[in-house]
């Protein structure tokens, strides 16, 4: 098993490089009532005038109307190259992703593996899954970082000002806000994003994040309650339909460069690809619980 040979030097990229074995084996079923419709969640909550000030400045820089107000769908291509990857594994992860915001429905297609991930009605399904990451953590993982400037507008968001902080390899001090989502808006309410906002331009300079997704932690043998922090540093941007999106960004763990990403072919008006989303073949449903640890369960059995 890959986890058994995972070297300490690769821990920096374990959010990108993990096995999915525990994601489906012996886990508990997700509570289907955990995620509520967008309209049943409270409006975003800000803890201070500073939090409101910096989010507003960021929205002015990136566009005040969120992408989901521009069209019925949102799609893009995501390319990731992982540094220091085991030679036996493909360091390139390439996906075509499309979403329907209102229904929280979408799919990812990975052409190099011919893998398909489909999510709808709070459930996630996969076909020919051959990527190391647990499929259950993937539906909105890349999406969140592409639309990050507008995530504070989502119902269920809680935004707090966390002072000036620095990004890896950057001496500049950025005002930061911490973004979390309440129970009902997310399956992992202890996950967070810390947004680093350029004080002059208002552009999002980078994001700090963690993961409390239980199958991820179990898969890499972490007994702590979370993994991270990781950092995405936004390198370049692209203007699409009057909105400013990230174009290229870099991932850091422990101040070491772990991966480089590119976002291309952003579309907010393309028809949802029902043919691909309903590709013939057998699909397997993710049943791993996002917050209940198998390691704890195993320990209790001894």
Dihedrals phi, psi of 217, to nearest 5 degrees: -65, -45
For the entire predicted model, the pTM comes to: 0.87
Decide which of 233 and 219 is more confident: 233
Number of domains making up the chain? 1
**Residue in 135, 111, 132 with CA at minimum distance from that of residue 123:** 135
Residue range 140-172, pLDDT digits in tens: 999 999 999 999 999 999 999 999 999 999 999
- The band of 240, judged by pLDDT with boundaries at 50, 70 and 90, is very high
Alpha-carbon Rg for the chain, nearest whole angstrom, is 19
DSSP string computed for 17-84: S---HHHHSSPPPP-TTSSPPGGGSPPPEESSHHHHHHHHHHHHHH-SS-GGGT-S-EEEEEEEEETT
| Residue 238 pLDDT grade (very low, low, confident, very high; cuts 50, 70, 90) | very high
- pLDDT averaged over the chain? 87
Model confidence over 183-219: pLDDT tens digits?
888 888 899 999 999 999 999 999 999 999 999 999 8
| pLDDT confidence of residue 297 | 56
Instruction: State pLDDT tens for residues 92-117.
Output: 999 999 999 888 899 999 999 999 99
**Window from 116-120, 161-165, 219-223, 294-298 with minimum mean pLDDT:** 294-298
Strand blocks (E) in 155-253: 157-165, 174-181, 193-197, 204-211, 227-240, 243-253
Task: Note the pLDDT tens digit of each residue in 273-284.
Answer: 999 999 999 999
CATH number at residue 152: 2.50.20.10
pLDDT at 21: 30
pLDDT, residue 112, reads: 96
Domain containing 182 equals 2-300
């Amino acid at each position: 098993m890959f986890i058994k040979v995972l070297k300490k030097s690769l821990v920096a990229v374990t959010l990108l490089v993990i096995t999915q074995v525990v994601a489906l084996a012996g886990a508990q079923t997700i509570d289907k009532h955990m995620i509520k419709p967008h309209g049943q969640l409270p409006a975003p909550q800000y803890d201070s005038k500073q939090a409101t000030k910096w989010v507003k400045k960021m929205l002015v820089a990136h566009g005040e109307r969120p992408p989901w107000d521009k069209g019925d769908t949102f799609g893009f291509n995501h390319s990731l190259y992982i540094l220091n990857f085991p030679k036996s594994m493909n360091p390139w992860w390439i996906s075509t992703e499309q979403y329907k915001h209102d229904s929280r429905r979408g799919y990812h297609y990975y052409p190099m593996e011919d893998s398909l991930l489909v999510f709808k009605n709070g459930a996630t399904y996969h076909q020919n899954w051959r990527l190391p990451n647990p499929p259950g953590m993937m539906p909105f993982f890349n999406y969140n970082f592409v639309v990050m400037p507008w995530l504070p507008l989502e119902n269920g968001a809680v935004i707090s000002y966390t002072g000036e902080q620095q990004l890896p390899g950057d001496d500049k001090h950025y005002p930061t806000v911490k973004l979390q989502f309440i129970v009902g808006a997310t399956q992992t309410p202890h996950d967070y994003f810390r947004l680093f906002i350029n004080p002059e331009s208002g552009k999002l300079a980078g994001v700090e994040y963690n993961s409390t997704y239980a199958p991820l932690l179990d898969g890499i043998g972490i007994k702590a309650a979370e993994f991270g922090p990781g950092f995405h540093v936004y390198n370049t941007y692209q203007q699409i339909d009057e909105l400013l999106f990230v174009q290229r960004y870099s991932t850091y763990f422990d101040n070491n460069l772990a991966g480089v990403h590119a976002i291309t072919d952003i579309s907010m008006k393309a028809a949802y690809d029902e043919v691909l989303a309903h590709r013939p073949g057998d699909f397997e449903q993710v049943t791993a619980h996002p917050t209940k640890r198998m390691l704890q369960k195993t320990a209790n059995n001894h």
